[in-house]
Amino acid sequence: MIILTTLLGYLVGSFPSGLVWVRLFTGQDVRAVGSGRTGGTNAMRAAGFWVGLLTALSDIFKGTLAVFLAQSLVDPALVPWAMVLAGLAAIIGHNYPIWLNFKGGAGGATCAGAALAFWPWIGPILIALGAVILYFIGYASVATIAVAITTAVAFAILAWVVLPGAFDPIFVVYGIGSIVLLAWALRPNFRRLLRGEERLVGRRAKKRATT
């Protein structure tokens, strides 16, 4: 069953939210705009703030749903590992969807959605962090990797400091795995950052557009 829920996690993650919403509202192919990715940031570039937000919320839901399915379907003794694998599989599905020739997003929203299923209170933390980075620093790639790093750190603190014995240390594997998956997907963005060519969003993008 754990293999099945991991596969389900991948398939749930593979749902191309950005492609569907951008095409529905504008008729455009989000893959032909900006970075070519299907996540919320590029959907916002293609179709505006509200479609970008809808895409991000859909991608968050994919991660949450994948983990909840694993939690519901697997034998209780295997639930922690099933949740971790389903969450990571959802990120892989989002980043490499079978329906789009394995070219999707970077996984930040889906990573956050799965993290919510492990510990709901991480939601406000990640939302605030992402909003601050996007608006003031202006790099979606930095916000994306920050989500994974914060998740790993928060889960480690919960497992060994705040809730020892109540929060399963296995969940830290999810945080570490999400860092690896998101960092791998963001390789082109990191190269552009080093060259000073990364695309801006938020306040800095508006400021640059008016200068």
Cβ neighbours of 180 (radius 10 Å): 12
Instruction: Please give the pLDDT value at position 77.
Output: 83
pLDDT at 186 over 80: yes
Which tokens sit at 172? 């830290």
Q: How far apart are CA 9 and CA 149, in angstroms?
A: 21
Q: Which residue has the tokens 């529905």?
A: 24
Give, to the nearest 10 degrees, the angle between helix 170-185 and helix 187-195.
Answer: 60
pLDDT at 54 over 80: yes
Cβ neighbours of 82 (radius 10 Å): 26
Q: How far apart are CA 44 and CA 169, in angstroms?
A: 36
Q: How far apart are CA 87 and CA 175, in angstroms?
A: 10
Instruction: Please give the pLDDT value at position 201.
Output: 75
Residues of the chain with pLDDT > 70: what percent? 95
How far, CA to CA in Å, does 102 sit from each of 45, 99, 116?
21, 7, 25
Instruction: Please give the pLDDT value at position 35.
Output: 82
Cβ neighbours of 147 (radius 10 Å): 28
170 compared with 78, residue with greater pLDDT: 170
Question: Where residue 207 falls among pLDDT bands split at 50, 70, 90?
Answer: low
Instruction: Please give the pLDDT value at position 57.
Output: 95
Quote the mean pLDDT of the chain: 92
- Residue 195: phi and psi, rounded to 5, are -90, -5
Residues of the chain with pLDDT > 90: what percent? 76
Spatial CB neighbours of 57, under 8 Å, sequence gap ≥ 6: 109
Instruction: Please give the pLDDT value at position 131.
Output: 87
pLDDT at 210 over 70: no
Digit-coded pLDDT (tens) for 146-179? 999 999 999 999 999 999 989 999 999 999 999 9
Digit-coded pLDDT (tens) for 30-47? 998 888 899 998 998 889
pLDDT at 60 over 90: yes
Q: Residue 42: enclosing H or E segment and its boundaries?
A: helix 40-47
Instruction: Please give the pLDDT value at position 1.
Output: 86
Question: Where residue 199 falls among pLDDT bands split at 50, 70, 90?
Answer: confident
Mean pLDDT of 127-142: 89
